[in-house]
Structure 1
């Protein structure tokens, strides 16, 4: 084969320049090697690991794609464009007369690509631009007529095998997990084009970024072809594609998932940027001593993302089952751990859609989304939207799940306008449930009344929890507390106080003994699950989500009760050698559950559902972090064994059961970030509230919140957040915001105690280390050059404080609101003491 290097004059001049100067090493150009006999040209660029081989002998196709000079990742089908007509006729760019190529600098143009028939002729031009960072491929397509297409390859990528890639991280925050496309023509289709394919074993990644021209949209189908290839097919349309089968995003044994669509006689373009990704580096979880960081990365990038069904459908069941339960409160928490702006953006859009399509006029939030009818209370399924009420009963925790996710999502995004757009709907959702307290005892009642109705009222949908349900009420307390804070942020103090008062009444009632109408069973040392309308008590079989929720959401704050519950659970876990918490330790009564739950232990009557793991970690973290970490490590070990590819685990064998994989299984690891590492963002700051032990000492990782990259460093006794021009350390939890006017420190990550350091000469570097903060004294070290002003809030009102720094001191009186201000000139690095004068002590 004769290889002719294109543009010899340019290469010769560069060679002469190399001989004459040392500067050539910084001059780079694309290398395009052409085989004129075979009509092939290879595209590469110095420093770019991706190489493409274009075959233009019979139309045009990308025949080979290599990373770092390795094996061809493409099958013989390569990468092509094409169409499928409703008649069944298929046409491809890899057929017809040879195309033409033209080189201009770092660009290669392939033109004269033509395919189709008399009814529809396609003319295409491909433009490639090579840089060190990526290969940009722009496809310009002209349709000779308007037509209906059954499918559209714009383009279609055919990779060698289903195991060429572990999966692909989608630019809506989701994932295509290749191992789940098990059968021939199993296909998953989503309404987004960008994907980062990765192989865990090699560490190689390939990012394909899709950019259609304005007015057009890109969708993608991922399929297991009849040639055992992994096929990625981009479809470009001028409107969002409909589903071919009901609302199904995933179909088994069918290569097509999108409905036929119309194309107009026109010229359209789409661009794909193809780039190598060092997967371990790009998705590193940082330095996590005592934790299997690789398992964390893989679990979050697979199980954690799997619940994203499509754009505006982010949930916990995922795309295999085409299901989303709205009665789950942990989707924003998954986003907290993923730390992916694409997931955050999609979850915000999901909550918008649920506000608009899944909420009834009276405030009732429908409990589920599914691609097909059959799981609904008759008459409730909307075939256009997919939202409905579950056939098992009115699962009322959809009210609380919606509100909790909105509030926690607001803390992640910080978008006040978005929160305002959900104000009325959150109030309606809460008020719908508040109105259900018919006897005004502070506990909110379900739609069902007692076990004889054989209907459910919460996530455990085949357990007949009825009337006064402790699990739902515990979540309601969390929702009320969250929303009260949001109303305060929005400036609505009367509403904030109202929801806080409702929460307080609920807390008081919830903690009463069962004999007095509450949920606490002193005899059993646990919170019972529910009370029927006849006053009968049910669920005193140590139901873990109920008791964990009471502690995790802050209803139970009595140390003796916390100890009783958590010690009892851990004793039972140790006795049975269980790797994770079951839904209950003893059996429900037979009449309290569906027949599918009998005999014990079976399904929701005693099996292990790690979905609610985050409640267990959150409950144990302040009490005994070693126990919390044990179950975090157990989940990571289980992921290494089976990929957590199950709905649940048998209580008897501890082997995976069920084919409905649940993304909620990742919540034990999301709790690692929230409740152990202490990542606690607030809408106006980054927060850090760790529960660290010695095995985690030295943990460090990068965390991106909104537009700021934080370096998180966790040492025993010292926690640090740093970024561009700031570094803050403290011996306790704290929050920090680095704004244009300076640094804002929040002691214990609360709004009540703050230290604001405002610079007067523009942006300047600030280092802050807080050693002590209590009513009597503040000790901190400040490193910053130039004049500044310090505002301190959270002091004793109307008291005098003496501020010492170096050899200088100032005496200042706090306002009647407990704040003071002081200016300092060019401190450099000084230790500050802010001490309350003894004479002012009570």
Structure 2
């Protein structure tokens, strides 16, 4: 026998594989420690890693973001809770096996449970790009009823690791509001992006159950003061345990018990590091605190999402949503998250199906439990009801305004068609309220003696002819008239537009002639009782702002009188935002809770209606509009804007509710200053810029197309992957295939279609666009066909291409077509022939 000496390498390998030898091996992002029974998986850029401990069951002991562990000692595990006890994957197991194949790690052999049910689980991990993919396969050995399940549960160190989590239904969990042990928020969605606003580190968890199953999540403050995120994968949608509560105080069991079936359930989870500052950047916003904008919209703006199908403004802490608020779609426009947009569409679907009565009346509120309703109106199954303070009629207008503006975001004609009958019913319900046929629509309450409300200011006894509701009705009628036109119903469109015009005339009459204008006070009064008495001439800001913002008042002298008066009063008191009214209502006009002045709805500051003020001032004095936008951002930096209102005397936050509507002054920044005006068939911009904002640049995503916007005074550029347009004036644009469509003024009256021979980028400079003269320059070479629509039918025009002139006649349909091969920059000018 010949004895051979082992080489040093073979000797090392021989020793390493002997029993009891502990070593660490590292291969392509996987680090193993067989002795400690741990395995660490790291993505290539090292921004994310997890360490799995399989020494006593399965548990992820560490999850590191840029090297920092964010988990408590409990880590991440799975489990179930029955009436007999709680069982988890972290329990000691005898037969755990670890295998590896093609870069995939598999843990198997775990069984946990009790005598009534046993759960066996297999975990698999694999690095995919910058993500760690985690598959959990669970088998139940019998049918059973469970109290809860962790599928899995993430146990973070404390409530300060993350500021919050952005949910994939457009909402958010705000960690600081899980104040007490076991405070819990439960929501019917699985995906979440947790973020730290100081470091910019974020963790995205994407969860997808297998077919036939659904996912929910609960976020809680644990007994160990951890922040926990638990995902529940079940056969059907979970019910709430306590009434319809999504948030429960000091109770961890927010969801009702549920049944599971014998068999297998799978879930796929992707863990991913996100650079929060980059992913949620608001761009470069000169003159505006972009960080405060980002944080405000990701917290206060999103907070109103209570759950799937319930987007409101009171939010999930108090489990409330008011349908008589018309700004939820506008908030979605500014938040710019397709998940919010999709959820808002679903919310309006649910309200159409569950909150509208047969006669067209839209119930005014949703709440988790009875107690706030007019007796007999609360639906214990759906949660919708009429508010105890009175029939708040602005739920009619709120539904229509939100549906109309939502259509411009989702661009879904079939969706709009599904709301046509319900929107018509909602409007017609209120139109029938004009009993005296004077063009103004009456409320259900007649006078202040009834001590009932009729709109959002629910403990002010606005009655009979209410100017605030009628101003909203004017907006709803005009928005819906446009929707009817899109749907091809021009007769109905003209009908609603005519009613709006009649309302405008009646609204603007002096109070002595039956209107709402007070020449003496230089303001619009709030309401008129059925006995003819006039009330609310105490400079009620949402009333007067709504009249201007919605365009029912377009008299320049009146606008100046109102806005100058409001600004003088606000400056005199050094108010950071506008109060609901500057002077006091009379005692007879309000609930006792509003007394003495200023108190609550009788004089406190409610920024919820800020967007009306910004919209009103934007076209009158942009400097004032920007001042209040910046004031609100400054206030956010002080207190997070997490209040219901601000006290008039101290300007400190107060009230149990957190109103997501407080964000509307910032949504108005996007709509009325930056001019973000999406339309159902295009992206539109109608900027109202100031010099201090020059150089504003940000991206905006509409229906999965990313647009880059560069905004300066009278110089606006919109670009995407397929085109770029620069103009001095407002416009809209859409590119489909090889065709770019340009909408001057972002209106539908005229359009220019540019069809290119190839799918190359189209760059266009709009030189000028006047009523009878239109000029643009194409700077990208291609063979083009230009079709201009909306001209005077049959009229003769002069066409100038660079220095070449010719005459061209518009067709009987008001269109003309030009074909041109552009080899370099080519200027076009079309003007009416003299």
RMSD: 1.4
**Which residue number in structure 2 is paired with residue 622 of structure 1?**
619
1:46 corresponds, among 29, 41, 44, to 44
Alpha-carbon distance in structure 1 between the residues aligned to 2:43 and 2:495: 64
Offset of residue 162 of structure 1: 0.7
TM-score (norm: length of structure 1):
0.95
Match of 1:578, SS?
Answer: coil
Offset of residue 614 of structure 1: 0.3
* Deviation larger for 83-92 or 761-770: 83-92
* Deviation larger for 778-787 or 280-289: 778-787
Offset of residue 39 of structure 1: 1.1
Alpha-carbon distance in structure 1 between the residues aligned to 2:90 and 2:415: 45
Counterparts of 1:339-358 in structure 2, within 5 Å, are 339-358=336-355
**Which residue number in structure 1 is paired with residue 833 of structure 2?**
837
Offset of residue 826 of structure 1: 3.0
Offset of residue 805 of structure 1: 1.3
Offset of residue 118 of structure 1: 2.0
2:32 corresponds, among 31, 34, 47, to 34
Contact 2:738 2:760 (8 Å CA) reproduced? no
**Which residue number in structure 2 is paired with residue 135 of structure 1?**
132
Offset of residue 48 of structure 1: 4.2
Counterparts of 1:217-232 in structure 2, within 5 Å, are 217-232=214-229
1:456 corresponds, among 453, 458, 466, to 453
1:67 corresponds, among 60, 65, 68, to 65
1:649 corresponds, among 646, 650, 656, to 646
Counterparts of 1:374-773 in structure 2, within 5 Å, are 374-759=371-756, 761-773=757-769
Counterparts of 1:26-425 in structure 2, within 5 Å, are 30-70=28-68, 72-97=69-94, 99-425=96-422
TM-score (norm: length of structure 2):
0.96
Alpha-carbon distance in structure 2 between the residues aligned to 1:810 and 1:250: 70
Alpha-carbon distance in structure 2 between the residues aligned to 1:286 and 1:340: 15
1:787 corresponds, among 764, 783, 786, to 783
Offset of residue 752 of structure 1: 0.7
Q: Deviations over 1:680-718 (max 9, x none)?
A: 001011110011001100001000011311001102221
Match of 2:822, SS?
Answer: coil
Offset of residue 69 of structure 1: 1.4
Alpha-carbon distance in structure 2 between the residues aligned to 1:371 and 1:95: 41
Contact 1:543 1:583 (8 Å CA) reproduced? yes
Match of 2:238, SS?
Answer: coil
Q: Deviations over 1:417-458 (max 9, x none)?
A: 000000000000000000000011110000000000000000
2:800 corresponds, among 792, 797, 804, to 804
Q: Aligned in 2, Cα 1:492/1:42: closer, same or farther, shift over 3 Å?
A: same
Offset of residue 131 of structure 1: 2.5
Match of 2:568, SS?
Answer: helix
Alpha-carbon distance in structure 2 between the residues aligned to 1:89 and 1:221: 17
Offset of residue 407 of structure 1: 0.4
Alpha-carbon distance in structure 2 between the residues aligned to 1:567 and 1:30: 68
Contact 2:44 2:130 (8 Å CA) reproduced? no
Alpha-carbon distance in structure 2 between the residues aligned to 1:447 and 1:409: 28
Offset of residue 93 of structure 1: 3.6
Offset of residue 827 of structure 1: 4.9
Match of 1:787, SS?
Answer: strand
Match of 2:825, SS?
Answer: strand
Q: Deviations over 1:563-610 (max 9, x none)?
A: 111111101111110000100000000100000000100000000000
Match of 1:833, SS?
Answer: strand
Q: Deviations over 1:200-245 (max 9, x none)?
A: 1111000000000011000000000010000000000010000000
* Deviation larger for 440-449 or 788-797: 788-797
Contact 1:187 1:251 (8 Å CA) reproduced? yes
Q: Deviations over 1:178-199 (max 9, x none)?
A: 0000000000000000000001
Match of 1:784, SS?
Answer: coil
Offset of residue 98 of structure 1: 5.6
Q: Deviations over 1:769-812 (max 9, x none)?
A: 11211133222111232322212233344332111112323311
Offset of residue 741 of structure 1: 4.3
**Which residue number in structure 2 is paired with residue 23 of structure 1?**
none
Q: Aligned in 2, Cα 1:98/1:227: closer, same or farther, shift over 3 Å?
A: farther
* Deviation larger for 511-520 or 807-816: 807-816
Match of 1:336, SS?
Answer: helix
Alpha-carbon distance in structure 2 between the residues aligned to 1:567 and 1:813: 50
Alpha-carbon distance in structure 1 between the residues aligned to 2:493 and 2:824: 42
Q: Deviations over 1:278-337 (max 9, x none)?
A: 000000000100000000000000000000000000011000000000000000000000
Alpha-carbon distance in structure 1 between the residues aligned to 2:578 and 2:40: 56
Q: Does 1:819 align with 2:810?
A: no
Contact 2:758 2:782 (8 Å CA) reproduced? no
Contact 1:145 1:265 (8 Å CA) reproduced? yes
Alpha-carbon distance in structure 2 between the residues aligned to 1:227 and 1:602: 41
Contact 1:526 1:565 (8 Å CA) reproduced? yes
Offset of residue 85 of structure 1: 0.3
Alpha-carbon distance in structure 2 between the residues aligned to 1:406 and 1:424: 12
Contact 2:797 2:832 (8 Å CA) reproduced? yes
**Which residue number in structure 2 is paired with residue 20 of structure 1?**
none
Contact 1:54 1:63 (8 Å CA) reproduced? yes
Contact 1:48 1:132 (8 Å CA) reproduced? no
Alpha-carbon distance in structure 1 between the residues aligned to 2:824 and 2:418: 45
Contact 1:740 1:762 (8 Å CA) reproduced? no
Contact 2:79 2:86 (8 Å CA) reproduced? no
